[in-house]
Amino acid sequence: MPKPSVVIFDLGKVMVDFEYAQAGAKLAAQSDLSCDEIRRVIDHTPLLCRYETGRIHTREFFREVCGATGYRGTMEEFSRAFADVFTTIESNVELNRAIRRQGIPTYVLSNTNELHHGHIRERFSFFPEFDGYVLSYEVGAMKPDEKIYVAAEKLTGKRGAEILFLDDRADNIAAAAARGWQVIQHQTPAATRARIEQLGLL
């Protein structure tokens, strides 16, 4: 395999961890449902999928959540609770910096939405440290749909084994490997770093 000329990172569970429990509790306090029931509306659901593929916008997402849960807070309160679920995975932030110091461009390829993207962009200092961003709600397709990988190839100007892609999900990794990309299914920072070193990127 040739040494990759660009590296593309997933965000969720790679650059940032997320935990919906607290958000669920905050939202539940102002709704008719329990924390777990709220999660069944907003976490990996068809509604979230419509939001993350840009088929509905934030206001509509909020309206639908209110309809499904009886949520009584304002859109601002909802937005804050829904978005404030992330913490940085420092070792991978450091890994991105180390790769970039070698002169290798790096990118983000993420299934996300306007509220989460806005929150991460505003609050996380690592976020500007990439050459470009492919975001599902802007592209209109989510991983593992091939359309979003094509968008990443266009943005980077690279294809096949020139690209190294890191993601925590097997389905997202399989779709990238099917295009000939080099892949790492991220499990631990130490294992990922070792693979990156093997590939000659550090």
Among 5, 13, 37, 73, binds Mg ion (CB under 5 A): 13
Give the residue, chosen from 10, 104, 119, 127, that forms a contact with Mg ion under the rule CB under 5 A.
Answer: 10
What is residue 140's DSSP assignment? T
Binding flag, residue 144, Mg ion (CB under 5 A): no
Q: Site residues for Mg ion, window 95-124 (CB under 5 A)?
A: none
Distance CA 42, CA 46 (A): 9
4 binds Mg ion (CB under 5 A): no
Both structure tokens of 144: 């593992």
Least separation in angstroms between residue 167's CB and Mg ion is: 6
In the block, residue with structure tokens 């935990």: 19
C-beta nearest to Mg ion: residue: 12
The bridge status of strand 163-167 relative to strand 182-185 is: parallel
The values of phi and psi at residue 13, to 5°, are 70, 5
Sites for Mg ion among residues 159-178 (CB under 5 A): 168
Positions that interact with Mg ion (CB under 5 A): 10, 12-13, 168
